[in-house]
Amino acid sequence: MSLLGFLGGRAERPAPKPAAVAAPKPAAPPRSVGARREFRGLLWFPVLTVSDGDKLVVSARAGLPHCPHCLRPLALAADGSERWACAACGRVSPACDADFFAMEAVVAACARDFLAKHPDFRPGPALPASARA
């Protein structure tokens, strides 16, 4: 067999069938990713909402601070003082305007951690600017 015939013969072979085309998967619903952080002596369990389909960190929320001893969510003291109180152990922590910034800092740190571990994801527009740095 000539070289041309050989090549031609090869070319005449049926091409391998393409792998069965998988049916497009329905977009997975966004999932929640929990984290744990200590900030200003309080424990936080921020939750990120991420979309695996869009590779997007959709949103993040800090939630309430938690008692570092009981892991229970803290509530503002019932006496109207600016304090976080633990209903279980009675531990009281000062609350202040800085807690608002603490929440944002917790959320931003949580989002940055996730993005560092998942470089194919990007931050969504709903995240605070500090989470995208």
Binding site for Zn ion (CB under 5 A): 67, 69-70, 86, 88-89, 91
Q: In this complex, which beta carbon is closest to Zn ion, that of residue 90 or of residue 119?
A: 90
Q: In this complex, which beta carbon is closest to Zn ion, that of residue 31 or of residue 36?
A: 36
Q: How far is the CB of 65 from Zn ion (least distance, A)?
A: 11
Mention every residue, 6+ apart, whose C-beta is less than 8 A from residue 55.
120, 121, 122
- Residue 82 and residue 96: Cα distance in Å, rounded? 6
Q: In this complex, which beta carbon is closest to Zn ion, that of residue 47 or of residue 75?
A: 75
Q: How far is the CB of 42 from Zn ion (least distance, A)?
A: 11
Q: How far is the CB of 73 from Zn ion (least distance, A)?
A: 10
Q: How far is the CB of 90 from Zn ion (least distance, A)?
A: 7
Q: In this complex, which beta carbon is closest to Zn ion, that of residue 58 or of residue 70?
A: 70
**Is residue 117 within 8 Å of residue 105, measured between CB atoms?**
no
